[in-house]
Amino acid sequence: MKKISIIILALILLLPLTLAAKPFGKTGTAALQFLKLGVDARAIGMAEAYTAVTDDISSTYWNPAGLAPAKENQAFFSHTNWIANIYHEYAAASYTNGVTTFAAYGSVLHMDKMDITEEDTFGPTGEQFTNSSMAFGVNYAQVFTQKFSAGVGVKYLRENLYEFAVNSYAFDVGSIYNTGWQNIKIGMALRNFGPDIRYRVDDDEDGSYDEDPFDLFDNDGDGLVDEDGPELESKIPMSFSLGISGDLMRNDTDHWIASLQLDNVIDRKETWNLGTEYKLRNLFLRGGYQFGYDTNGFSAGLGYQIATSFAILNIDYAYTDMGLLKENFLKTAHRVSIKMRY
């Protein structure tokens, strides 16, 4: 078992090389951008410095290894009110025997309907459209030793843009190592490792794609060439996170933890996340800052834990300062999440 732990840890340590091998530093040019939208108000309130902290059902998004230490089955729902009337829903559930944990989840990004605009007159046509993105996946995590746990996951991806759609898949893998001193943990996670995607658009509606990529032939005999140019492949937002967290204070009822994390995403520069959480009885206070973002990276949140006859409930809220986006759209991002342990 110890040898298996060492092999898995070595493999995960080498994962950042997959990002460095083929740099792609253009912001926002990767497809399936919704995969970068964090979930769980607890994590967001800590400015997403959560890869080493995560120890519950929201690990399905942040780091599958965080599922392993759980001693109870869990359920989770998160709702995000984004700017421009965009909404994000995330739900997950897990089953554990105390050593091995299985989890399933679904993520859906959706928006209100918008008017279709005529290009020539630049006016509405009377028709409407909507876009959506979704991911459905399963995770497996296991405790290998008292200090080391690891997990893997696979997910199905789909994005609908007006009348076009693309389907794909991706993998997640992560690990958490607890040093055993001051609850200091080191967490690593590689998320969204998968193939490039390509939208196929039939501009002339003859049932064929990429007919004349070099403008040489009139394939459908209508007197025109190069009607359907080749669609370019797009990467998905693969990311690698390395974090460290530890206790500043802990007793039977209260704790104060801090976390620092480095994020490397394939279509932006590296960013640093710093977060903290203070627990006073059943009340949680959180704050954090993300360094290296174009917008203001401040986050804050609070939560409350309720013990019932059937489960322990955690209700959390987080606020994120969107900087210039808030000024332009007169809104900011609000997240609410509910976790249940039973």
- What number of CA atoms fall less than 13 Å from residue 295's CA on the CB side? 13
80-84, 180-184, 260-264 — which is least confidently predicted? 80-84
In this predicted structure, the answer to whether residue 191 has a pLDDT above a threshold of 90 is yes
Tell me the two tokens of residue 196. Answer: 């490039």
Domain ranges of the chain: 32-197+236-341
**How do residues 201-228 score in pLDDT, each as one tens digit?**
665 566 666 555 555 566 566 666 655 5
Q: Tell me the per-residue pLDDT of 141-150, one tens digit each, with 9 for 90 and over.
A: 999 998 999 9
Q: pLDDT tens across 252-270, in order? A: 899 999 999 999 998 888 8
Q: Which pairing describes strands 271-280 and 283-291: parallel, antiparallel, or unpaired?
A: antiparallel
Q: Which residue has the higher pLDDT, 11 or 158?
A: 158
pLDDT of res. 198:
79
- The pLDDT of residue 317 is 96
More confident residue, 123 or 28: 123
**Domain 32-197+236-341, second-level architecture:** Beta Barrel (2.40)
Taking 80 as the threshold, does the pLDDT of residue 325 lie above it?
A: no
Q: What is the pLDDT of residues 104-116, one digit of tens each?
A: 999 999 988 877 7
